[in-house]
């Protein structure tokens, strides 16, 4: 059984002005997401600025989210690392805390061979004994998971169940589903490719867009699953200008700006990320208005 079907939000990590995690705001946006129809919470992923969280902050945010959500929808914890031992430790802790699944990005900077990636993922999954979603985003990590590697992991390790695909390469996605015999839990990692990936057997999206438009992102998947392909596609295409604005600078710079424009007060970004440029923010605000999102 899949960890979730539909739209999971790759949720931001709200910060206070002194750059500490703002747990009061995190609680608020978790409630907003659940009320808005989001199908799962993905905490401490790239959008959550995981790269600048200490291990203690990382685990505290995961535990807080699991406790606050309290089984109302699944919680998937981002516990990947380029250090296998660190990923093993954090994944085991997240599993013990009650995470419904783990999102494990490919090792970045030191990367690894395909054989090394197989060993890396098997070691983490076997230690955590919790459903794992692999995360392939070579534009950020410099490391690509080959379709054959994904298929081997999913077929041979009972805990490795799915893949968040953010390569942008639809042919690669097709190869994955072919080699997995269509049995992988496939999630789009790109908001502009939800419908194409669903058409290849995907079951959802792990979404940045959901931070500002949870219902609409949920509906793109829901309409498709109910057989309303035309309605799903229309909503996907309607969202494209907003999606482009949300990725006009490095994620999560624009989405945090968007939430602050909505009055959500999610605070600043930790360096080396910087605040959004005014020209880009103006375009973002305009696309949000066109999409029907109310600004503060």
136-163 burial code (b ≥16 CB/10 A, e <16): bbbeebebbbebebbbbbbeebebbbbb
How many angstroms from the chain centroid is the CA of residue 150?
A: 18
Residues with Cβ within 8 Å of 180's Cβ and at least 6 positions away in sequence, in order, are: 150, 151, 154, 155
Active site includes 164? Answer: yes
Catalytic residue (one of 25, 152, 164, 264):
164
User: 213: which DSSP letter?
Assistant: -
The Cα diameter of the chain in Å comes to 50
- For the chain, give me the number of helices (H) and strands (E)? 12, 8
Catalytic residue (one of 25, 121, 135, 281):
135
Place of tokens 């596609």: 233
With contact defined as beta carbons under 8 Å apart, do 133 and 3 qualify? yes
d(CA 134, CA 160): 7
Task: List residues with catalytic annotation.
Answer: 135, 164
């Amino acid at each position: 059984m899949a960890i979730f079907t539909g739209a999971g939000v790759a949720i931001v990590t709200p910060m206070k002005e002194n750059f500490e995690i703002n747990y009061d705001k995190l609680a608020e946006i978790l409630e907003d997401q659940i009320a808005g129809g989001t199908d799962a919470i993905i905490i401490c992923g790239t959008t959550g600025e995981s790269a600048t969280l200490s291990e203690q902050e990382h685990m505290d945010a995961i535990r807080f989210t699991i406790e606050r959500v309290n089984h109302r929808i699944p919680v998937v914890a981002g516990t990947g690392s380029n250090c296998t031992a660190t990923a093993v430790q954090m994944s085991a802790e997240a599993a013990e805390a009650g995470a419904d699944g783990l999102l494990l990005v490919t090792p970045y900077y030191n990367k690894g061979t395909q054989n090394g990636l197989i060993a890396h993922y098997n070691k983490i999954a076997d230690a955590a004994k919790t459903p794992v979603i692999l995360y392939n985003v070579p534009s950020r990590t410099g490391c690509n998971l080959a379709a054959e590697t994904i298929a081997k992991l999913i077929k041979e390790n009972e805990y490795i169940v799915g893949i968040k695909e953010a390569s942008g390469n639809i042919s690669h996605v097709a190869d994955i589903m072919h080699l997995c015999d269509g049995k992988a839990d496939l999630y789009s990692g790109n908001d502009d490719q939800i419908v194409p990936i669903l058409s290849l057997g995907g079951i959802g999206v792990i979404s940045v867009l959901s931070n500002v438009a949870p219902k609409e992102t949920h509906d793109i998947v829901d309409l498709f699953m109910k057989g309303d392909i035309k309605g799903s596609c229309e909503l996907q295409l309607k969202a494209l200008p907003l999606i482009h604005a949300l990725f006009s600078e490095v994620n999560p710079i624009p989405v945090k700006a968007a939430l602050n424009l909505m009055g959500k007060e999610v605070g600043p970004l930790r360096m080396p990320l910087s605040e959004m440029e005014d020209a880009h923010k103006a375009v973002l605000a305009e696309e949000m208005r066109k999409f029907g999102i109310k600004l503060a």
